[in-house]
């Protein structure tokens, strides 16, 4: 459904159908939730080749990267949900304090209702469907908005969802993101909004949701550092940081945005990076089937402008017609220049030297909280220092991006890089109302809470509350 062509009456009718479907209670039973997850898994398998082809068409995404970063991670989430669904939806027993006896207590997770999921273009399958898995497991109905910047993939995602679900269970809205606010978020109240994208747009989403008091989860980004100290395995650090930076042509919110490398190993690190580039992409990365392209002209022009700041140590070639920028390493980058102040989101890696670890903290604190942070060190004291002193959403020691692939680890940002956590059970919890209930006994009624209040009752009260 294209939001630019549908009338407000038609849109309102479709949303009312979702609300009615949810209110009927048909999405709540365990069997219904399991059936929904299985249907999504089957539709995803059925259209796997079409989705891989669509992602290649949209941004020349290599087949391996498209499966690893998009389709495969959705399967991981579905498997995790199916394995644990019965335990997740059951009531959780809680202890009951003496002051509330005789009674028992429990927390019941219940679905929120109709939720809105808005996804970006860089991982156009995974960032739509991973939140949807949790929303379905929690028993909700959903409106899904794929990115219009990856149109071929967005169309295939809509086809997958249409085959897996009735339109009153999961509805897909297509079109420009700027139309979603005034036509969808401002007029209608959702029970939760899940948005992945930039901090600037995230602020607008929050503002539009505020009049309805709709809770919002924001998965944003930031300048995620890779810190390499003098004790690190240099070859390994270079390979893992390069993989992170150039995977999906650098269009990854948790990629190593820049490398902060101890001065004593700087030359060795740069030499190791050059060897990695040759090994990964050959002498001409433009001809490599393993390297993606920038998603649109705007992103190309922005990333291309970063090459004018600092010295190009590796790469630097570009082709506007293909939206191609070679895997690039920059040195001597001014700290007040755009590539050190803006999230790069492209295949450009500034490498900055440091001598004292306090310099690293000062460099990172020049920008808002990073979404991720990566520490390469063989020294446990140094690992602990950097992971404790830097506020970030999640990360790795001696690797990059692996935290995103573990469905049992919560994922999310802090401060400017986002709010709210998801993946695995955390997504289920995010889309659930955790209802606390006390079951009071009808067999015994001690009467201590009733008037008249006596000194003896007060003594019992004080004893029970301490």
Q: How far is CA 303 from CA 163, 249, 251, 286, in A?
A: 38, 11, 10, 16
Q: What residues have CB less than 8 Å from 79, skipping those under 6 apart?
A: none
Catalytic residue among 80, 158, 168, 219: 219
Phi, psi of 267 (to 5 degrees): -65, -45
- Can 219 be counted among the known catalytic residues? yes
Maximum alpha-carbon separation in the chain: 89
Active-site hit among 158, 168, 253, 382: 253
How far apart CA 172 and CA 296 sit, in angstroms, is 23
Token pair in block for residue 330: 């920059």
DSSP 56-71: HHHH---HHHHIIIII
Distance between CA atoms of 377 and 231, rounded to whole angstroms? Answer: 5
Question: What is the C-alpha separation between 100 and 440, in angstroms, rounded?
Answer: 8
Whose structure tokens read 């929904």?
Answer: 36
Active-site residue flag, 396: no
CA atoms of 383 and 402, how far apart (whole Å)? 17
In this structure, how many other beta carbons lie within 10 angstroms of the beta carbon of residue 38?
13
Positive or negative torsion for Cα 60, 64, 68, 70: positive
Q: Which residues are catalytic?
A: 219, 253
């Amino acid at each position: 459904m294209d939001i630019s062509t549908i009338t407000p009456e038609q849109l309102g009718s479709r949303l009312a159908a979702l609300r009615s479907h949810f209110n009927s209670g048909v999405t709540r039973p365990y069997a219904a939730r399991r059936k929904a997850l299985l249907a999504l898994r089957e539709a995803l398998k059925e259209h796997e080749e079409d989705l891989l082809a669509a992602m290649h068409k949209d941004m020349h995404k290599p087949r391996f990267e498209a499966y690893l970063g998009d389709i495969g991670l959705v399967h991981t989430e579905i498997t995790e949900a199916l394995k644990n669904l019965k335990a997740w939806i059951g009531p959780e027993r809680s202890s009951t304090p003496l002051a509330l006896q005789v009674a028992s207590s429990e927390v019941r997770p219940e679905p929120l209702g109709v939720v809105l999921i808005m996804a970006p273009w860089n991982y156009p399958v995974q960032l739509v469907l991973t939140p949807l898995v949790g929303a379905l497991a929690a028993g909700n109905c959903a409106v899904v908005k794929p990115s219009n910047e990856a149109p071929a993939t967005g169309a295939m995602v809509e086809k997958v969802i249409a085959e897996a679900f009735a339109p009153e269970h999961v509805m897909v809205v297509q079109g420009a993101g700027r139309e979603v606010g005034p036509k969808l978020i401002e007029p209608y109240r959702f029970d939760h909004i899940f948005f992945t994208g930039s901090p600037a747009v995230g602020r607008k989403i929050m503002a539009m949701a505020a009049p309805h008091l709709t809770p919002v989860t924001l998965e944003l980004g930031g300048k995620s550092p890779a810190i390499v100290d003098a004790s690190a395995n240099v070859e390994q650090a270079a390979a893992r940081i390069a993989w992170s930076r150039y995977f999906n042509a650098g269009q990854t919110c948790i990629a190593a945005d820049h490398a902060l490398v101890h001065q004593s190993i700087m030359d060795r690190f740069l030499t190791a990076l050059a060897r990695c580039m040759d090994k990964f992409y050959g002498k001409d990365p433009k001809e490599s089937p393993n390297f993606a392209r920038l998603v649109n002209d705007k992103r190309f022009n922005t990333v291309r402008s970063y090459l004018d700041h600092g010295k190009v140590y590796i790469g630097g070639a570009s082709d506007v017609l293909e939206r191609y920028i070679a895997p690039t390493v920059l040195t001597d980058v001014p700290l007040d220049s755009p590539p050190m102040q803006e999230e790069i989101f492209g295949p450009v890696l500034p490498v900055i030297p440091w001598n004292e670890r306090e310099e690293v903290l000062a460099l990172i604190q020049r920008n808002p909280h990073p979404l991720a942070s990566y520490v390469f060190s063989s020294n446990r004291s140094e690992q602990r220092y950097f992971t404790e002193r830097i506020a970030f959403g999640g990360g790795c020691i001696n690797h990059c991006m692996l935290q995103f692939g573990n469905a049992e680890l919560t994922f999310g940002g802090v401060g400017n890089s986002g709010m709210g956590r998801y993946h695995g059970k955390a997504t289920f919890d995010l889309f659930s109302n955790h209802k606390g209930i006390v079951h009071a006994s009808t067999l015994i009624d001690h009467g201590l809470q009733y008037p008249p209040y006596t000194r003896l009752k007060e003594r019992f009260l004080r004893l029970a509350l301490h």
